[in-house]
Structure 1
Amino acid sequence: MITRTAHAPRWARAMMLLIPALWMGLIIGISGIEAPLKFTAPGITIPLGLGIGRRVFFAMNIVEVLLGIALLVALITLRRNHRFQALPYFAKIQRYSAIALAVLVVKTVVIRPLLASHTDAVLGGTSDGGSTTHYFYIAAELILFVVLVMLVLTAVRGLLAPTNSVEPLLTDDGNASSTTPTEH
Structure 2
Amino acid sequence: MPRLWISLRLLLPAVWIGLIVGLSFMETPLKFLAPGITTPLGLGIGRLVFISLSIAGWIILIVLTLISQARPRETRGGWILVGAMWVIMAVESFAIRPALAARSDIIIAGGDPGDSVLHYIYIAAELLLLAVLVWYLVLGTRRIKIA
> Which residues of 2 match residues 1-184 of structure 1 at below 5 A?
9-78=2-71, 81-82=72-73, 90-127=75-112, 130-158=115-143, 160-161=144-145
Distance 1:137 1:100 in 2: 14
Deviation at residue 9 of structure 1 after TM alignment = 2.2
Secondary structure of the residue aligned to 2:69 is: helix
- How far did 1:130 drift? 4.7
Quote how far apart the aligned CAs of 1:76 are: 2.3
Contact 1:122 1:128 in 2 (8 A): yes
Residue 178 of structure 1 is matched in structure 2 by none
Structure number with greater Rg is: 1
Q: Give the percent of matched residue pairs that are identical in Structure 1 and Structure 2.
A: 39
Measure how far apart 1:137 and its partner are: 0.7
C-alpha deviation, 1:16, in angstroms: 1.4
Q: Secondary structure at the match of 1:77?
A: coil
Bigger fraction of residues in helix: 2
- CA distance change for structure 1 residues 25 and 101 in 2, over 3 Å: closer, same or farther? same
Which amino acid letter does the alignment assign opposite residue 48 of structure 1? L
Amino acid of the structure 2 residue aligned with 1:50? L
Q: Distance in 1 between matches of 2:2 and 2:87?
A: 25
Conserved? CA contact 2:103–2:113, under 8 Å: no
Measured in 2, the distance between the counterparts of 1:129 and 1:38 equals 22
Give secondary structure in 2 for the equivalent of 1:148. Answer: helix
TM (normalized to structure 2)? 0.91
TM-score (norm 1): 0.74
Unmatched 5+ stretches in structure 2: none
- Distance in structure 2 (CA, Å) of the matches to 1:105 and 1:24: 17
Alpha-carbon offset, residue 11 of structure 1: 2.2
What whole-Å deviation, never above 9, does each CA across 1:49-92 have from its counterpart, x for those lacking one? 101101111111111111111111112224xx54xxxx7xx121
Alignment partners' CA distance in 2, 1:20 and 1:76: 16
Coordinate RMSD, CA, aligned: 1.9
Work out the CA distance in 2 between the residues paired with 1:116 and 1:51: 10
Check conservation: 1:16, 1:74, Cα contact below 8 A. yes
CA distance 1:55–1:152, shift in 2 (3 Å): same
**Which ranges of structure 1 fall in alignment gaps of 5 or more residues?**
1-7, 166-184
